[in-house]
Amino acid sequence: MRKLWLIFAQATTVSLALLFVISTLKPQWLTSTAGRTPAMAQLPLLAPNEAYSPSSSAAASSARVGYSVAAKRAAPAVVSITASKAPARSMGSQDPWFRFHFGKRGRAEEANPQTGLGSGVIVSADGYLLTNNHVVEGASDIEVMLSDGRQARATVIGTDPESDLAVLKIDLDRLPVIRLGNVDTLAVGDVVLAIGNPFNVGQTVTSGIVSALGRSQLGINTFENFIQTDAAINPGNSGGALVDADGNLVGINTAIYSRSGGSLGIGFAIPISSARQVMEALVQNGQVARGWIGVQTRELTPEFAEAFKLPISEGVLISGVLANAPAAKAGIKPGDVLTQVGATAIQSPAQLLSAVAALKPDTSTTVSVLRGTQKLELAITVAQRPKPQVERN
C-alpha cells in the first residue's frame, strides 16, 4: 500500500511539473476549438487594439438607412418646366403721347414675355408628361428640361382646370419613365419623397410622411381629394412627383399652405389614381367628360333640419335649380333634400359633386329626395358638365 501511494505521489508531481513547463513555454498547446465555451466561440474576431462592443457586429451587418434607391429610381423622370406667356399689351402703350414719353420702356415691357417655372413627371415612353394646369395655363411656349440636361419643346395635349392637371408631350428618345404606385395601399404615416425644381435651384428631393388622406373643401380646385404631406414643397415644385419609399409615383404635387410663400410642412398632392383617369381622358378625347345635373346646394345643418322638422339629418339641401337643366327636367325643386344618387349615399355638397361627376354624360340614374315628409325616387338623365368660365382681366 505504501508503494502505491509513493507511485501516485511521484506521478502527480511529474504531471504538475510538466503542466507548468508547457504553460510557460507553449501555452497555445493547452487551447483548442473544442475546448472553448459557447460564448467565446461566438465572439467576433477583433483587431489587436479594438475593444469589443455587443453592437459591433450588428452595426457592421445593418443596411444603410435612407431613401437613395427610391430617389434614383424616380428622379430621372421628373423634369423642369419653363412656361412663357406673351405679355399683355397695355392700353397706354398704344397711345402716341405715351410712346413719345415712355416708348423705350413700353417696348421693352412688351418684348419681355412672362415666364413661369414648375415641374412635371414623365409617365409614358411615348413622351407624355403630367403637370399642373396652373403651371402651363395661358403659355405660348413650353420648354422641358430633363435631369440629364436634354431639352425639348412640349405640346399641350389637354388641360383640366377643375382638377388642376395638364398633359404635355415631348418628342425625345430613351425617355426615363416613372413607375406608377397604388394609392389604395398608402396610409397615414408612410414615408414619401417630393421631387421637383423649387425656386429654380435645380432638381431637389425632400422627404416627409403622409399627414392625411382625402383632404377636400380647401378651395384649391373644384374636385379635391388631396394627399397631405409634410415633405417640403415650395414654389417650382408644382407638377412634380410625390413618390413612396420604393420610388413609385403616388401623387402630383399641387399646392401648399403658406403665409410666407415657403414650405410650412403642409403640402397637397393629387393622387395618381385621379391623375391617371384625367390623363387617359385628355389623351383619348381631349377633355374630361363629367356628369352634371344643374343644381345649387347648401349643407344640411342640424339647425336647419330641426327648424323645418325634417325627419332626416343627412343629405344636401337643394337651394336652386337651373332652368332646363337635367335636375329641372327630372322634377327636382328648391327646398328638396337630396339623399342618394344611384347607390351612393349623399351627406355633403362635395359628395354630391363627386358622385354626379363620376357619371358619364347622357346616362340615366335615379336620385332620392325628401320633399317635406314625402320620399321620392326620380329618374334623371345626366348631362355633360359645362366648361368653367375663364376670368379675363
The active-site residue out of 80, 119, 211, 238 is: 238
Structure-block grid coordinates of residue 214:
382625402
What pLDDT sits at residue 15? Answer: 74
Residues 361-369, mean pLDDT to the nearest whole number: 93
Residue 313 clears pLDDT 50, i.e. is over it: yes
Least confident of 6-15, 22-31, 303-312, 383-392: 22-31
Residues 241-255, mean pLDDT to the nearest whole number: 95
**Distance separating alpha carbons of residues 259 and 184, to the nearest angstrom:** 32
Q: What is the pLDDT of residues 257-280, one digit of tens each?
A: 877 777 788 999 999 999 999 999
53: annotated active-site residue: no
Instruction: Give me the residue spans of the domains in the chain.
Output: 66-288, 291-384
Q: What is the pLDDT of residues 5-34, one digit of tens each?
A: 677 677 777 777 776 666 666 665 665 444
Q: What is the pLDDT of residues 142-195, one digit of tens each?
A: 999 999 999 999 999 999 999 999 999 999 999 999 999 999 999 999 999 999
Cross-strand bridge partners of residue 271: 251
State the residue for C-alpha cell 381629394: 225
Average pLDDT of the chain is: 81
| Neighbour-count burial of 135, counting CB atoms closer than 10 A to its CB (0-12 exposed, 13-18 middle, 19+ buried) | buried
Structure-block grid coordinates of residue 12:
502527480
The active-site residue out of 119, 134, 230, 354 is: 134
134: annotated active-site residue: yes
What pLDDT sits at residue 28? Answer: 59
Query: Of 16 and 47, which is predicted with more confidence?
Result: 16
pLDDT band at 106; cut points 50, 70, 90: very low
Cross-strand bridge partners of residue 160: 165
Radius of gyration for the chain, computed over Cα atoms and rounded to the nearest angstrom: 36
What pLDDT sits at residue 30? Answer: 60
Query: Of 308 and 338, which is predicted with more confidence?
Result: 338
What pLDDT sits at residue 197? Answer: 92
Query: Of 115 and 220, which is predicted with more confidence?
Result: 220
What pLDDT sits at residue 35? Answer: 44
Tell which CATH architecture fits domain 66-288. Beta Barrel (2.40)
Of 99, 72, 105, the closest CA to residue 87 belongs to: 105
What pLDDT sits at residue 104? Answer: 46
Of 343, 380, 347, 336, the closest CA to residue 362 belongs to: 380
Which percentage of the chain shows pLDDT scores above 90?
A: 51
Question: What b-and-e string marks burial along 240-260, b requiring 16 or more CB atoms within 10 Å of the CB?
Answer: bbbbbeebbbbbbbbbbeeee
The active-site residue out of 80, 119, 164, 336 is: 164
Residue 369 clears pLDDT 90, i.e. is over it: yes
What pLDDT sits at residue 1? Answer: 62
DSSP strand pairing (226-229 vs 204-215): antiparallel
164: annotated active-site residue: yes
pTM recorded for the entire structure:
0.71
Q: What is the pLDDT of residues 59-103, one digit of tens each?
A: 444 455 689 999 999 999 999 999 988 765 554 555 554 444 444
CATH class of segment(s) 291-384: mainly beta
Residues 100-127, mean pLDDT to the nearest whole number: 68
Question: What values do phi and psi take at 325, rounded to 5?
Answer: -80, 165
pLDDT band at 108; cut points 50, 70, 90: very low
Residue 42 clears pLDDT 50, i.e. is over it: no
Q: What is the pLDDT of residues 348-359, one digit of tens each?
A: 888 898 899 989
